[in-house]
């Protein structure tokens, strides 16, 4: 069976499975629509949480980012995984004990104010809509390569699939669909990694293969990769850092606290029957997440080495990497390169007209490499590889069987669709439960609220699709920016709501608004989004990353600091919370008998 037919069959079967599950588990009440009835088993919820949390960024982009950045790419592993631990230990059990459906509902009740709830909705929508752009882009990337359609058509198909199981199934349908999606995505990620690890090191476990000897040599795989990239003029893979140490620290911190503040992940802990179950499901989710996250560094390193070996034959056989015969001729480039060229995510340009693909970098820090490149007629790197294709193209680069390539296609789509559904659920709940019922129409019937939830989700799908088709100019790092927005607005409010009984509504609202505002200002100022009297101002703050060298994607941590400072300053000059609110906060934090707490909805 040819590759394209195999892909159609595997991806089609996965879509049929998702829709079938949604029909079987469709929501019939608001409790099922928002929280799956609050009766999801901890292991099931852990698996669904892992799928919800591991987005297209984790499946498609993370290994590519690590491959490009080397050691510095570890900030994504540390930030996202550390943030999940923070969420599981400090937030999830207490939020479950509070017993509400959504993050804005918690903030509204804890800070005894509909206005606080509305501010939280604004923050939630800003973070979730920014995040969902990346998911729809991931859907477009996967579809454009594997189903032979344009990325625009791929986004339309993705919208239809999510609509079919999210609108009708609600959180109940999404939960069980995400379990299936987790199984698909984790198999799609680990099976090719096992094959490639065996090829390159003889070790079946990629985690161990990363430190094992490269096949046919006495050197380790990482040492081999370091040797190859430095000989070709690139930075050393195992020590490279992106920007300053301060920026790396702030970037990691922003991802960490942003993860802990993501509303669509927090909502998952409202679906279990007790606080004890919330803690248990958090632990299970970490186990399921760790399978992919411990595999990612190996996938990144092995894919980078395979890519260099494909373009430069001397990588495997040894010899002069700059010899004319070491670079493959353009007409001999493998089929997988030609297929990815059609997507625009891999591009070859013969800059010196010699008919060969020269994939090396004559940098000024390596005079020997520069001299060899000049002798080889180098006129600039001739191969441009988008980081997003590393995982998806990995089995093709390694010449694995067609069914493995098809499985990766289904996994990439599962990762993007599962997170998109979770984000849409958070958006829908914020609009229908926190705005429609909480602010505009408190006396709405359960049937009316359920209808409002489905309508708001359908509208959110349309908006998400539009933004995926027409991403705004600041969307280049949408996933990182979404974490920064959550870090600067929602995370501090949730933390203070749980651990500071004296924090009042004025402080919480001022903190959320100031944290969100300063982060968006910094991001937009560097992306040239400010228009005054028809004039576009670029670098409004005084040049790229001018605030101590911190990039916009890392600025969420600064926004969070501003949030905390403003909140506590305002709190000190305004009236403290009522006594019953302070007692409620203390009661939520008391662990005694917490395993028996069921949580009232």
* Residue-level pLDDT at 313: 82
CATH number at residue 168: 1.20.1730.10
Helix (H, G, I), strand (E, B) or coil at 213: strand
Record the pTM: 0.81
Answer with the residue of higher pLDDT: 510 or 326.
510
Find all residues with CB under 8 Å of 213, minimum gap 6, and list them.
Answer: 201, 219, 220, 221
For position 574, what pLDDT does the model report? 95
* pLDDT, mean of residues 507-528: 86
pLDDT digits (tens, 9 = 90+) for 279-322: 888 889 989 999 999 999 999 999 888 888 888 888 877 777 88
Question: 377 is written with which tokens?
Answer: 């007629």
Q: Where are the alpha helices (DSSP H) in 438-589?
A: 446-469, 478-499, 505-527, 556-572, 579-589
User: Which tokens go with 85?
Assistant: 């631990």
- Cα–Cα dist 163/161, whole Å: 5
Please state, in angstroms and rounded to a whole number, the distance separating the CA atoms of residues 548 and 244.
9
- Is the CB of residue 193 less than 8 Å from the CB of residue 200? no
How far from 150 is each of 52, 142, 155, CA to CA, in Å? Answer: 26, 10, 9
Residue indicated by tokens 């001739």: 382
User: Would you state the torsion angle of the CA atoms of residues 289, 295, 299, 305, taken in this order, to the nearest 10 degrees?
Assistant: 150
Query: SS3 of 383, please?
Result: strand
Residue bearing the bigger pLDDT, 86 or 572: 572
Do residues 467 and 506 share a domain? yes
Question: pLDDT tens digits for 323-361?
Answer: 777 888 888 888 888 888 877 778 888 888 888 888 887
Looking at the domain assignment, is residue 255 inside a domain? yes
Name the burial class of residue 183, with classes exposed (0-12), middle (13-18) and buried (19+) by CB atoms within 10 angstroms of its CB: middle
CB 7, CB 430: distance < 8 Å: no
Tell how strand 535-537 and strand 530-532 pair up: antiparallel
* Residues 323, 438 share a domain: no
Which of 367, 390, 413 terminates a domain? The answer is 390
**Residue 491 shares a structural domain with residue 544:** yes
Whether residues 573 and 437 fall in one domain: yes
Domain's final residue, options 344, 364, 390: 390
In a shared domain, residues 377 and 403: no
Q: What is the pLDDT of residue 540?
A: 41
pLDDT single digits (tens) 574-601: 999 999 999 888 887 765 444 444 444 4
Q: What is the pLDDT of residue 482?
A: 82
| Structural tokens at position 4 | 């394209």
Query: Which percentage of the chain shows pLDDT scores above 90?
Result: 19
Work out how many domains the chain is built from and give that number.
2
- What is the Cα–Cα distance from 582 to 268, expressed in whole angstroms? 26
- Per residue in 223-262, pLDDT (tens digit) is 999 888 888 888 788 876 666 788 888 988 998 998 888 8
Among the candidates 357, 390, 423, a domain finishes at 390
- CA angle, 6 as apex, 2 and 9 as ends, to 5°? 145
Per-residue CA distances from 193 to 206, 290, 302, 338, 390 (Å): 6, 15, 9, 23, 12
Same domain, 404 and 503: yes
The Cα–Cα gap between 194 and 140 comes to 27
Contact 497, 110 (CB under 8 A): yes
Residue 535 is predicted with a pLDDT of: 40
Maximum CA extent, the chain: 79
Determine how many CB atoms are found less than 10 A away from the CB of residue 85. 14
Confidence band for 572, pLDDT divided at 50, 70 and 90: very high
**Residue holding tokens 């509070």?**
98
* pLDDT single digits (tens) 463-486: 888 887 876 544 345 667 788 889
Name the token pair of 426.
Answer: 């958070």
Cβ atoms of 246 and 549 closer than 8 Å: yes
Bridge partner residues of 530 (DSSP) = 537
The answer to whether 186 touches 295, Cβ cutoff 8 Å, is: no
> pLDDT, tens digit, for every residue of 61-104?
788 888 888 877 888 888 888 888 888 888 888 888 887 778 88
As beta bridge partners, residue 351 has none
pLDDT at 536 over 50: no
Residue 365 burial (10 A CB sphere; 0-12, 13-18, 19+): exposed
Helices (H) and strands (E) in the chain, counts: 27, 4
Q: Look-up: residue for tokens 């403003």?
A: 566
Q: Is the pLDDT of residue 506 over 90?
A: yes
Q: What is the b/e burial string over 24-58, where b = at least 16 CB atoms within 10 angstroms of the residue's CB?
A: ebbbeebbbbbbbbbebebbbbbbbbbbbbbbbbb
- Look at residue 15 and tell me if it is in a domain: yes
Q: Are 444 and 437 in contact (CB under 8 A)?
A: yes
Query: How many angstroms separate the CA atoms of 457 and 425, rounded?
Result: 7
Please compute the mean of the pLDDT values over residues 116-125 and round it to a whole number: 91
Residues of the domain holding 108:
3-302+398-595
Mean pLDDT of the chain: 82
59 falls within a domain: yes
Query: What per-residue confidence (pLDDT) applies to 544?
Result: 53
Residue 312 structure tokens:
């430069």
Q: What is the DSSP letter of 356?
A: B
pLDDT tens track for 25-36: 777 777 777 777
182 within a domain of the structure (yes/no): yes
Do 431 and 325 belong to one domain?
A: no
Spatial separation of the C-alpha atoms in residues 401 and 11, rounded to whole Å: 16
Higher pLDDT, 85 or 490: 490
pLDDT digits (tens, 9 = 90+) for 424-450: 888 888 888 888 887 788 888 888 888
Residue 135 has pLDDT above 80, yes or no: no
Residue with tokens 């997003």: 388
Q: How far is CA 392 from CA 56, 142, 384, in A?
A: 11, 8, 16
pLDDT score, position 311 = 86
Q: Are residues 339 and 480 in the same domain?
A: no
Does residue 590 share a domain with residue 535?
yes
DSSP 601: -
Place of tokens 């000190």: 572
Residue 600, in any domain of the structure: no
Give the confidence band of 517 by pLDDT, cuts at 50, 70, 90: very high
Check if the beta carbon of residue 140 is closer than 8 Å to that of residue 420.
no
Long-range contacts of 442-447 (CB under 8 A, 24+ apart): 446/29, 446/30
Residues 454 and 525 in one domain: yes
Q: Within this chain, do residues 476 and 466 fall inside the same structural domain, yes or no?
A: yes
Token pair 């908006």 in the structure block, residue: 463
Q: Is residue 601 part of a domain?
A: no
Same domain, 255 and 308: no
């Amino acid at each position: 069976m040819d590759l394209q037919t195999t892909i159609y069959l595997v991806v089609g079967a996965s879509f049929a499975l998702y829709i079938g599950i949604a029909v079987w588990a469709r929501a019939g009440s608001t409790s099922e629509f928002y929280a799956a009835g609050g009766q999801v088993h901890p292991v099931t919820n852990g698996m669904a949480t892992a799928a919800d949390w591991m987005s297209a960024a984790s499946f498609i982009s993370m290994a590519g980012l690590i491959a490009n950045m080397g050691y510095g790419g570890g900030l994504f592993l540390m930030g996202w995984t550390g943030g999940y631990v923070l969420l599981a230990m400090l937030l999830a059990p207490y939020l479950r004990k509070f017993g509400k459906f959504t993050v804005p509902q918690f903030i509204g009740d804890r800070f005894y104010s509909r206005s606080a709830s509305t501010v939280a909705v604004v923050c939630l929508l800003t973070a979730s809509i920014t995040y969902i752009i990346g998911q729809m882009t991931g859907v477009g990337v996967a579809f454009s390569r594997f189903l032979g359609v344009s990325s625009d058509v791929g986004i339309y198909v993705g919208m239809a699939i999510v609509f079919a199981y999210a609108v009708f199934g609600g959180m109940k349908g999404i939960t069980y669909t995400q379990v299936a999606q987790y199984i698909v995505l984790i198999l799609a990620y680990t099976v090719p990694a096992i094959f490639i690890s065996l090829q390159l090191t003889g070790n079946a476990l990629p985690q161990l293969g990363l430190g094992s000897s490269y096949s046919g040599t006495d050197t380790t795989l990482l040492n081999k990769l370091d040797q190859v990239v430095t000989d070709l003029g690139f930075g050393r893979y195992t020590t490279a850092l992106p920007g300053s140490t301060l920026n790396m620290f702030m970037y990691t911190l922003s991802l960490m606290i942003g993860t802990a503040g993501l509303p669509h992940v927090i909502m998952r802990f409202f679906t279990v029957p007790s606080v004890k179950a919330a803690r248990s499901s958090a632990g299970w989710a970490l186990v399921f997440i760790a399978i992919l996250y411990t595999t990612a560094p190996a996938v990144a390193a092995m894919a980078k080495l395979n890519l260099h070996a494909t373009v430069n034959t001397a990588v495997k056989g040894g010899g002069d990497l700059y010899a004319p015969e070491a670079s493959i001729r353009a007409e001999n480039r493998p089929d997988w390169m030609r297929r990815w060229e059609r997507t625009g995510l891999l591009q070859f340009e013969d800059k010196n007209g010699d008919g060969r693909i020269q994939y090396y970098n004559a940098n000024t820090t390596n005079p020997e490499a520069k001299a060899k490149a000049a002798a080889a007629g180098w006129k600039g790197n001739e191969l441009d590889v988008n980081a997003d294709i590393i995982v998806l193209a990995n089995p093709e680069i390694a010449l694995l069987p067609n069914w493995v390539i098809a499985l990766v296609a289904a996994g990439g789509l599962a990762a993007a669709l599962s997170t998109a559904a979770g984000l849409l659920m958070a958006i829908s709940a914020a609009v229908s439960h926190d705005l429609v019922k909480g602010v505009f129409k408190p006396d709405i019937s359960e049937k009316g609220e359920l209808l409002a939830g489905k309508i708001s989700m359908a509208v959110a799908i349309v908006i998400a699709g539009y933004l995926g088709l027409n991403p705004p100019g600041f969307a280049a790092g949408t996933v990182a920016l979404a974490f920064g927005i959550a870090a600067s607005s929602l995370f501090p409010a949730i933390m203070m709501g749980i651990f500071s009984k004296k924090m009042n509504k004025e402080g919480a609202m001022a903190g959320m608004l100031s944290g969100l505002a300063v982060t968006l200002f910094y991001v937009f100022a560097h992306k040239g989004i400010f228009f005054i009297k028809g004039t576009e101002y670029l670098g409004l703050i005084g040049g790229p990353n001018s605030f101590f060298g911190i990039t916009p994607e890392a600025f969420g941590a600064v926004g969070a600091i501003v949030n905390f400072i403003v909140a506590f300053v305002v709190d000190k000059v305004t009236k403290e919370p009522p006594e019953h609110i302070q007692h409620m906060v203390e009661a939520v934090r008391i662990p005694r008998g917490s395993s028996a707490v069921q949580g009232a909805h």
